[in-house]
A and B are shown apart, each in its own frame.
Chain A
Amino acid sequence: MSKSVLIAEDVSKMYRLGLVSTKSLAHDINRWWHVVRGKEDPYRLVGEANDRSAKGESEYVWALRDINFSIYEGEAVGIIGRNGAGKSTMLKLLSQVTQPTTGTIKVRGRIASLLEVGTGFHPELTGRENIFLNGAILGMRKREIQRKLDEIIAFSGVERYIDTPVKRYSSGMYVRLAFAVAAHLESEILIVDEVLAVGDAEFQKKCLGKMGEVSKGQGRTVLFVSHNMYAIKSLCSRAIYMQNGTLKNDGNASLIVDQYLSGYDSMDTARAYQNTLSDKAVYLEKAVCQNAVGLEKYMFTADEPIRVVFTIKKKTPVRGVFLHFVLKNYEEVAILETDSREGGYPEIDTDLEGDFTSVIEIPSRILRSGRYHISVGIRSEQHDPAQIESLAAFMSFDVLADKSPRDARRNSILSTILDWKDAGRVEA
């Protein structure tokens, strides 16, 4: 069994919400008075679980509450959870950016944390100068950077601009250079927060490859926060699932990711799209998901058809209007793209004005379990961006894991039930 390189023991972090004001000064004085008398901080007792959507009683919330885990040498661990679950707070504590309210974290070896790419880049300095500065901020010695300079420049793919101030860089080039520096850090533990969301597809792939190399090839420990479940599954062997500041589950990455994706049960509200403020002549006013009998819902079982109902407002007669619909799965892979012209020429296409509804139905037993994102745009054959709100809705719905073991075992993107025909035994 390999040895642990990082142990978190009963780690908690409390934050106060609201503004810094005379009221917070009064609280600080009260707290200080308690500490002076050797009593416990009174505000720790009133801290609440961190549920960002529910209105709470207390101004104090526990961003993290009693977190315990150990990470072993050479592991690649993904940290997942919804926004506000405490993932980034955890990483901040590990990177020593802030300190825990209670608890201890013990670390063996050097930690390099990448909570953001390009921290400390100075716009006036050239790419080369920034490599040195950024490397030093991340804890590298000058000699170390010198030795790896060529490698860093090659990895970034911005050789041509290396002696130009970075303020002249495109945002993609900037990120490339910054990640290249961080990727060449020599530390035993690497902490990475959602930095792969930037850069183009090719570069993202390169980054993931580099991280895989770091953890699998060089045997270094990687802690990785991401909402990209595909990346978590492919990079990490283990995942930690956080919810409202507590550790919900910890274990095999694939299993935890699946649990996370099916665990949206508390979120079946307010996912409809509504827009009443557009000044365009044609725009999407409303979009909702419904089941077969017209009940609005966003959690479906695999046996239910999913109906998406769009209400389009047309204030002037514009011809040739149609809806463009893209369905993406949780890995942001587009799995279905269609537009309303496929349904013949509905009334929306005529020069009538008013409200139009358009319905699309995804039959049951097509999609496997997981979260899906819908993006819808309004397009027009006589393209006139001044009149049409082209990018419209972005919604999501979930297909719950099937109770039957068949769905869970399918690894394909779709889990469509196909009509297998028994053609009978072929006579010899």
Chain B
Amino acid sequence: MKAQEHSQENWDLVIRSKTHWLSLNLRELWRYRDLLMLLVKRDYKASFKQTILGPIWFFIQPLLTSSVYAVIFGRIANISTDGNPRLLFYMAGVIMWNYFSTCLTATSATFVTNANIFGKVYFPRLIMPFSVVISNLLRFSVQFLFFFGVLIYYMRMPEYTVHLTWAVALTPIFLLIMALLGLSMGLIVSSLTTKYRDLAHLVGFGVQLMMYATPVVYPASFLEGKWKTMLELNPMTAVIEGFRFAFMGSGAFNPVSLFYSIGVTLVLLFISIILFNKVEKGFMDTV
């Protein structure tokens, strides 16, 4: 009997105490793609159950936020908007930043919020953060359409010089950078907070503070000298400036800084996947 057992060494699954540090099982991830789509559907449906306005809430939030910014930063603080209509300028910043920040904060809580499900059933854990990124992309798309409507309105007004540029073609790249940057930063935080939750406290206000280090409520041209250099170290700067350049024709868009953002994103993504892989197998014991 022993000999027979040794002869049949074609196991489908081997569970061990240690896994290889880079054992990302993409095939398994692909097998669970239906789950990914169902989770996205769940998020979408569940967020508007028992509301009358439904998806209209997607518009209201950026509209109100940009209006408030337009009053505080535009009218009161009188910060330049590079000659753009204030509402449009802030709305571009707000919808972009929102996408990034919700990706980051939601994925950073992956293990804690899903501990219940993760503790009872196995599926590739990465599915959960991926579903967050995709559901938020859906929300972003709706907000983007709204933004586009506002954009067309201003484009028809002669007193503004709002116009589209060739960089519109780069929109998917901007989105991808934001999604992956938010995802990987969130994954890093979630991997580091399974046992010691200290870092989770940083995320909430950290994201808030990071917004001020990104040209969301002011244009990059507002800063000069060493401040400008520091601003350019932020990988989100190129994305938001690039987006404004693409759709409003303003701002200083620099392809080099876009490559810098891509580089930072890839490095962070690599680190985050290694970290996530390392903790996902055993996090249930410590979370």
Q: How far is the CA of A20 from the CA of B287 in the complex (A)?
A: 10
Pick from B14, B17, B117: contact of A106, CB under 8 Å: B14
Tell me which residues across on chain A come within 8 A of B122, comparing CB atoms: 95-97, 113
The answer on a CB contact under 8 Å between A105 and B15 is yes
Given contacts A4-B5, A98-B285, A133-B38, contact A108 B12 (CB under 8 A): yes
Tell me which residues across on chain B come within 8 A of A95, comparing CB atoms: 120-122
A96 nearest in chain B by CB position: B122
Q: How far is the CA of A132 from the CA of B281 in the complex (A)?
A: 25
The answer on a CB contact under 8 Å between A142 and B281 is no
Which of B16, B120, B196 is the most central at the interface, judged by chain A CB atoms within 10 Å of its CB? Answer: B120
A3 an interface residue at 8 Å Cβ cutoff? yes
A326 an interface residue at 8 Å Cβ cutoff? no
Q: How far is the CA of A102 from the CA of B8 in the complex (A)?
A: 23
Residue total for B at the interface (Cβ-Cβ under 8 A): 41
Within 8 A of B (CB), among A109-127: 109-111, 113, 115-116, 119-120, 122, 124-125
Within 8 A of A (CB), among B203-232: none
The answer on a CB contact under 8 Å between B123 and A99 is no
B46 nearest in chain A by CB position: A124
Pick from A20, A92, A100: contact of B16, CB under 8 Å: A100
The answer on a CB contact under 8 Å between A97 and B14 is no
Which of B15, B49, B118 is the most central at the interface, judged by chain A CB atoms within 10 Å of its CB? Answer: B15
Given contacts A20-B196, A106-B13, contact A97 B284 (CB under 8 A): yes
A272 an interface residue at 8 Å Cβ cutoff? no
A165 an interface residue at 8 Å Cβ cutoff? yes
The answer on a CB contact under 8 Å between A7 and B285 is no
Shortest beta-carbon distance, A217 to chain B, in Å?
Answer: 23
Shortest beta-carbon distance, A95 to chain B, in Å?
Answer: 5
Tell me which residues across on chain A come within 8 A of B34, comparing CB atoms: 136, 140-142
B35 an interface residue at 8 Å Cβ cutoff? yes
The answer on a CB contact under 8 Å between A120 and B49 is no
A93 an interface residue at 8 Å Cβ cutoff? yes
Q: How far is the CA of A133 from the CA of B10 in the complex (A)?
A: 32
A204 an interface residue at 8 Å Cβ cutoff? no
The answer on a CB contact under 8 Å between B120 and A99 is no
Within 8 A of B (CB), among A19-55: 20, 24-25, 28
Given contacts A101-B17, A142-B34, contact A133 B42 (CB under 8 A): yes
Pick from B10, B16, B46: contact of A104, CB under 8 Å: B16
Q: How far is the CA of A110 from the CA of B123 in the complex (A)?
A: 12
A120 nearest in chain B by CB position: B117
Given contacts A97-B118, A137-B117, contact A132 B11 (CB under 8 A): no
The answer on a CB contact under 8 Å between B120 and A97 is yes
Given contacts A105-B14, A107-B12, contact A20 B286 (CB under 8 A): yes
A138 nearest in chain B by CB position: B121
A14 nearest in chain B by CB position: B285
Tell me which residues across on chain B come within 8 A of A98, comparing CB atoms: 281-282, 284-285
| Interface 0/1 of B1-35, CB less than 8 Å to A | 10011001011111111010000000000011011
Shortest beta-carbon distance, B92 to chain A, in Å?
Answer: 33
For the complex of A and B, list the 3 residue pairs with the smallest distance between their C-beta atoms, beginning with the closest: A136-B35, A96-B122, A105-B15
Binding site for A on B (CB under 8 A): 1, 4-5, 8, 10-17, 19, 31-32, 34-35, 37-39, 41-42, 45-46, 49-50, 116-123, 195-196, 281-282, 284-286
- 18 further contact pairs, Cβ within 8 A, besides A95-B121, A99-B16: A4-B8, A96-B122, A97-B120, A104-B14, A106-B11, A106-B14, A106-B15, A107-B14, A107-B15, A108-B10, A122-B46, A129-B45, A132-B38, A137-B35, A137-B121, A138-B121, A139-B32, A140-B34
6 contacts between A and B (CB under 8 A): A97-B120, A98-B282, A108-B13, A129-B42, A133-B39, A136-B32
